[in-house]
Structures are given as C-alpha cells and as structure tokens.
Structure 1
C-alpha cells in the first residue's frame, strides 16, 4: 500500500471517529437542555422564562453582529494558513474584541435608549457584553479543534461548558430570590470565566496581530452576517406570526413540534462539524471523486436517521409535550423534511464558503426567509385552527427554495459536479414521500410499530455487517 493510500485511510478513520464523537457528545450536551426544561418551568414564572428566552435571543443576534462570525473562517483558512494558525486566530480575535468594545461604548453612551428598546435591565446588558467579549475566544478555540480533528479536546471543552452552565444555573435558581438573575448568571458565567482564560491563552499563542488576516476573514465572513441573521429570523418568524395572527394556543402546538425538530437539527449540526473540515481539505486537494463517493454515504446516514425520527414522531411529541399536544404530530413530518433540505443545501454552502463566494449565501438565505414570511402572511389567516401545521409547510417551502438557489449558485460556479444531484434528488424525493406516508400511518399504530421493528432490524443488520469497521473506528487512537 502506498503512503498516500495509508494517509487517506488514516484520515478517513480520524474523520469517522471525530464525526461519531461530535454527534454523540453534542446529543448528550443538547439533551441537558431538554431534561432541565421541566425544572426551570417549575421554579420560574412564565414571565421569567419569557424574559430569559428574550435575553438569549438578543444575545444570539448581537453576538453575530459584534463577532462578525469570524470563527467560521478558521476552517477555510487552514488550507492557506495552517502553519500560522495561532497568529491567524489571535488576529481575528483582536478584531472581534475591538469591534465589540466599540459597540459596548455606543450602548454606554445611550443607556436609556438601548435599555428601553431591548427591554432588558442594564445589569443584564453588562452581562450580555461580557459574554460577547468572552464567547468568541471559546468559539474560535473549539473551531480550531474541529479543523484539526482534535475531538478529545473538543468534547472535553464543550462538555465542561455545557455541564457547568447547566448545573450553576440549576443551583442559582434554587438559591436566589431573583430566579431570572440566577438563570442568566448561572448559564452565562462559565462562558465569561472560561472565555477570559481562553482569551489570554490565545493571545499568548498568537503573540502578533497581523492586520492582513483582518481583510482575509472579513471578506469571507462579513457577507455571512445577513445569512446568520436571516436564518435566525427564519427560525422565529413562524412562532411570532402564529401568535400575532392566530393566537398563543396554536403557537404552543408549533413550539412543541419545533422543539422536537431540534433533535434533527442537532444531528445535522454535529455531522456538519465533522464533514466541513474534511470537505474543505478535499476540495483544496481536488479529490472530487472521493468527495462524491463519501458524500453519498454521508447523505444516506442522515436520511436513515431522519426516517427513524419520522417513525417515532408520536412518541417524541408525547415525551416533550404530553397527550394534550397530540395535534403537533402533524407538524413534524414537514419540519423533519425541512431539516433534510437544510442538511443538503448546507453541503452546497460549504462549497460556496470554500470558494469565498459568501455574498451569494446571504442573498439566497434572505430570499428564502422572505418567501417563508410572505407565505405565512398569506396562508396563516386562511385557516387559523391549523395554522401550526401550515407554518410547518411554509418552512418546508422556504428550505426547498434555499436548496434550489444554492444548487444553482454552485452550478454557476461550475462546481456542481462535486455531488451527484440525481442521487440527492432521489433521497430528498424519497424522504418527502415517506413523510407523506407517515402522516397517514400515525393513525395506524400496529403498522407503524411493524415499520419500527423493520427499521431496527435493518439497523442491527448493518451494525453486525460492518462491526469490524465500527470497532476499528472506535478503538483506533487519534
């Protein structure tokens, strides 16, 4: 066996093991949020829960604006600046910090305006900016670990942050009179403390700030800011419009279904964390044949997992919301199918990102989000009683539009040959047909359980058939 072949085999094993660890551990850490939700709902009032959700939403939006999402450039920059990565990270971190301090200064100059506009107490706004200063160092470090497949360090660091934040929030909500303060301080303090320590570590490792890296990173990431904000709007617009046009009762049905949808989105996020670094490296090496072959396996694995979730929708809704949320069942097939389109179009976005054609990413996302909002405004009023189901299908329509737009952007770049579009359309078509079928079969429990049994048998068959490969991936050091 040649040295190149051995290296490819070793790389494939590392990627597979990293992907497995990212997926499993992300699931565990995200599950903590689901498991602790009943606790916080019991000890906090609805107003306090709503205020925490508002604070989290503001934090996620402002973090995109102040950080420019510069950490996203790290995986791409590895192809060009691998030997100077420490200096690259410290340089873009300094830019993010300077801009965050400027925004913080503007807020301090007009405290009344921003406090009234955001409807957030200033003691929490200070915590918000400390978090926005401390989050980028943490994000950049774990992104570097992803880029170099350092999954053990990634799992350890993300685990510490997830567990410490959850446990501290849990403890402070129990002990403090002000439950909202307890949850905000408990959840965000670990990010602030560890982020500050990581900032010092990255500054020591990077030593020199090179402003040429500012230009490199902003050219890639600045156009992605509207993309990130549009995706956030796409995620929350359904809930806001159902509440305003149809009523909070119908919003509750959709919210439970959307919580279940997050199971699939966690899967997608975890798998993409392993896929993107390998894809960037393979594109740089022009290993298009390997990409096409591996991408089919990658897509099949995700599709198989989506099918499993579609089979278990009634049980998922029962666990998350109880029997009173049974109508939410009929939202999930469309939402899970939406996640399949999200999964696929992100594969194309990764190519656009590698080619540094990020303006198209933002334009496409804004078009898809606008289409979703317009469809909601048109159709939600027509049948308020089923508005939560309609919103699921308008979301699906938005993601289908995004898939089409990103495919043609990549086709125009003459990079569409990287993936097999025929294979992708077959998989997406199959998922849509199966989702439609499950909408009917949710009323026929025996038939559905027979399908679950068949699904489990197929799963066990493949685990047994490829047990040696699985064992090799799990036991191989790296």
Structure 2
C-alpha cells in the first residue's frame, strides 16, 4: 500500500488529474446505474417512461438552446485565450444565456405547438429551460478545472451532485403521487443551486457580457456541429420518444431500462478505446502498420465476449434493475448490446480518420444514420411492435459503421496509408460469429440450458486463454 502511495505522489499533476477524472467518471456512472433499481421500484412503468423521455428531450433542447458552447470548443478557446480566460469564460457563458433566452422566448410564443410535438406539459418544459440556464455553468467551470489540472474541487462537485440527485429525488418521490416529477425536480434543484453558484464564480473576476471575437468564434465553431450533435442524440434517444408517441409511456419506460442496461457496456468499450487509440496513433506515426490488425481483432473478440455475457445474463440483469413489470425488456437487450459492440467496431475506422484530422465526413454519416433510424421506427413500430426499435437502432449503427469504413478507405488512399491497416475480413467474421451467438443466447431466454451452457464455455475459454488476453493488453502499454 505504501508503495502505491509513494508511486502516486511521484507522478505529475496531469497524470493525477487524469486518474481522478477517470475514477470520478466511473463512480458517477455507477451511481446512475444504482439509481435505476430505485427509480423503477418507486415509479410505475408509465412514470419511468415519462422520466426517460424527459431526459431525451432535455438533450435535444440542450443542443438547440445552448449550441453546446461549453463542450470541446470552449476548451480550445481556453488554450487560445490563455491570458484572458476570465473574460472569455464570462463572455461565452453570457452567449449561452442569450441563446437559451431566445429559444425560451420562441417557446413562450407558441407553447401549445411545441408541447404537442414533445408531449411534455408547460411545467416540465420550464424545468428543461431552468436546467439549460444553470447546467452549462457547471460544464464551463468543470472544463476549466480540467484544463488547469485543479481536479480536487471538480471531482468533489461532481460527486456531490451525483449523490444528491437520486437521494433527494427518491426521498421526495416517496411522499407524492407524480413521482417522476420529484426525480426531475431533484435534478433541477441540485443543478440549479450548484449552477447558480458556479455561474457567479465564472463571472465575478473580470465580467464581460459581450465580446465580438469570443462570440463570433464560439458560434462559428459550434454552429456547424449542430447537425452532428442533433443526429447523434436522435440516434441514441429518438427510440424512446417515438415509442411513447406511437405505443405508450409504459413501453417507453420498459425500453429505457433495457437501453440503460445495454449502455453500461459502452463504458467498458470506451476504456478499451482510450488505451488503444494512442497506441494506434504511435504505430501509425512510426508506419508500423502490420502490428495493428492483430491487436484490433484480439480486442474486438474481447469486447464481443463481454457484450455477449451481458446478453447471456440479460434476464438476471433486468430482474435486478427493475421489477417484474419490466420483464419484457430482456428482448431488447440483445440488439442494443449488439449496437454497443458495433460502436466499438467502427471506432477503429474513426480513430484512423482522427489521426489524419479528416473528420468532416462523420457528420454526414451520423445524420444519415439518425434519419434512417427515425424513419424505420415510424415505419416498423406500428407493424411489429415497440421491441423492433432495438433492431432498427442496430441496423442504423451497421449503416454508420459501413459509411465510416468507406470514408476510412478514402482517407487512407489519400494519405498513402495501406487500407490493410484493418483486416476487414477478419473483423466482419468476428461480427458474424457475434451475431450468431447473440441469436443462440436470445433463444436461450426460453431454454435455460442453452444459455448457461454458453456461459460456461465462455468462462472456460477465458481461463484457458488468460495469458493471451493479458499479453494483448500489455502490448497496448508499450
């Protein structure tokens, strides 16, 4: 233990910040996951459906009303305006405040029309706007702490808000009938108090409402990204909105539980990619292309195995996350977990696009896939039922992956990089095997011996091949 503490004290502040932000992110995701069983046992499926749809619309309104100015463009600006960070932060925060006020004014002119589109009432929509006024302040402040490596306060604020929201929400929900409003209200209250405090912190040193250069740069940077941001949210969240509109709130809630369970795997995938990406970039810089395909394929098999384990244990996972009323959610887990696997699949193509700093085609692919997903949902849900939404999402991600592969080939040829940097045949073979096993496991939901037999085979294989798995992970650290 002392050795670990000594080693920790010897590393740079940048490394310490990276460690703590990673740990904080993991704990934050863990708290969100722990909150699901609490919410589903307090709320009816209809109420939980309303809650998940509210969160989906919150994401959409956030893009339209704030331009996501507090995201990556702000961090770039902190670097560019290093000696004027106080005025820059104050000015762009006021820009976001102004944009939100414009959208709020439009809403107040035509509230009935917008409410008929969203399915939200006037009060819930005002809750969305209250979050849009305060939450960006938290994002601005946290981003600046990250850039300046002041991680202690940022981690503390994130942890406090993550813990308070479910505790306060559950406590109030137990005392009123509209329980979903209590959980939403807890988010509004916690983020409101913290956001208002940090809004003052962001502005109090050198206040600047309007700076032409700062506003122009922020709008120029974030404006063109709006279609990409919107399409990404639609691809991830439109299912629940459409299910509520076409089928009902209860079905949206059931689907939302399956979605939350499946997206847990995206955290594992992101951790793998965060280690893989710099390794790939280093190998590409050294033009050591031959080493890349085998590592990619090995990790693809690892991720496939982990996602298959989620599919295998879906009945047990859903039973933990929600009461019996949500049991139907197990049938949506396989296609949604497969979608997470496909995300990791195409991330290898995206990594190469990022290396050559040629990511302009990403927006085209995301917009096309999002529109396809929405169209398929409206076409198929009335015919095949709401569970088909999981498979329309999977198909949309497969189209997204194919588009990225085409873009990657074009970029490789343009930059003199061999397209064999990925072994697409082996990758597709791994995907094919994944889908076959997914089908077997889904069948196993009704035949328990099939499912548990597969689980034993996977565990035995992992034990036998443990040295091989460890070796591939170590290669990423070289």
SS of alignment partner, residue 69 of structure 1: coil
1:149-160 to 2 correspondences below 5 Å: 152-160=152-160
Q: Which residue of 1 aligns with 2:258?
A: 257
Q: Are the aligned partners of 2:45 and 2:251 in contact in 1 as well (CA < 8 Å)?
A: no
The change in CA–CA distance for 1:206 and 1:426 in structure 2 (over 3 A counts) is farther
Deviation string for 1:169-202 (max 9, x for gaps)? 1222234566454333212111111111112222
- Residue 115 of structure 1 deviates from its aligned partner by 5.8
Q: Larger deviation: 303-312 or 454-463?
A: 454-463
State the alpha-carbon separation in 2 of the partners of residues 397 and 416 from structure 1.
32
- Residue 365 of structure 1 deviates from its aligned partner by 1.5
The change in CA–CA distance for 1:252 and 1:92 in structure 2 (over 3 A counts) is closer
Q: Which residue of 1 aligns with 2:35?
A: 33
State the alpha-carbon separation in 2 of the partners of residues 420 and 145 from structure 1.
41
Q: Which runs of 5+ in 2 are unaligned?
A: 1-10
Q: Are the aligned partners of 1:173 and 1:182 in contact in 2 as well (CA < 8 Å)?
A: yes
The two structures, once aligned, show a CA RMSD in angstroms of 4.8
Deviation string for 1:120-170 (max 9, x for gaps)? 554444433221111112123334455567665543332111111111212
State the alpha-carbon separation in 2 of the partners of residues 130 and 439 from structure 1.
45
Q: Which residue of 2 aligns with 1:318?
A: 319
Deviation string for 1:448-474 (max 9, x for gaps)? 23135326637976898899999x9xx
- Residue 102 (str. 1) matches residue 102 (str. 2): yes
Q: Which residue of 1 aligns with 2:183?
A: 183
Q: Which residue of 1 aligns with 2:68?
A: 69
The change in CA–CA distance for 1:82 and 1:116 in structure 2 (over 3 A counts) is same
State the alpha-carbon separation in 1 of the partners of residues 117 and 162 from structure 2.
30
Q: Are the aligned partners of 1:227 and 1:366 in contact in 2 as well (CA < 8 Å)?
A: yes
State the alpha-carbon separation in 2 of the partners of residues 306 and 330 from structure 1.
15
State the alpha-carbon separation in 2 of the partners of residues 56 and 225 from structure 1.
19
SS of alignment partner, residue 174 of structure 2: helix
The change in CA–CA distance for 1:319 and 1:102 in structure 2 (over 3 A counts) is same
Q: Which residue of 2 aligns with 1:24?
A: 26
Q: Larger deviation: 80-89 or 328-337?
A: 80-89
Q: Which residue of 2 aligns with 1:219?
A: 220
Q: Which residue of 1 aligns with 2:80?
A: 81
- Residue 401 of structure 1 deviates from its aligned partner by 1.3
Aligned residues: 454
State the alpha-carbon separation in 2 of the partners of residues 51 and 333 from structure 1.
24
- Residue 237 of structure 1 deviates from its aligned partner by 4.0
State the alpha-carbon separation in 1 of the partners of residues 109 and 41 from structure 2.
39
Q: State the TM-score, normalizing by the size of structure 2.
A: 0.74
Q: Are the aligned partners of 1:64 and 1:229 in contact in 2 as well (CA < 8 Å)?
A: yes
Q: Which runs of 5+ in 1 are unaligned?
A: 1-8, 473-478
State the alpha-carbon separation in 1 of the partners of residues 115 and 370 from structure 2.
28
Q: Are the aligned partners of 1:258 and 1:335 in contact in 2 as well (CA < 8 Å)?
A: yes
Q: Which residue of 1 aligns with 2:195?
A: 195
Q: Which residue of 2 aligns with 1:447?
A: 453
Deviation string for 1:53-108 (max 9, x for gaps)? 44333322211111101233247617952735835444432221221122233334
State the alpha-carbon separation in 2 of the partners of residues 11 and 431 from structure 1.
41
Deviation string for 1:375-419 (max 9, x for gaps)? 44555566x36x62x433322221111122234445545469599
SS of alignment partner, residue 107 of structure 2: helix
Q: Which residue of 1 aligns with 2:93?
A: 93
- Residue 133 (str. 1) matches residue 133 (str. 2): yes
State the alpha-carbon separation in 1 of the partners of residues 177 and 252 from structure 2.
30
Q: State the TM-score, normalizing by the size of structure 1.
A: 0.74
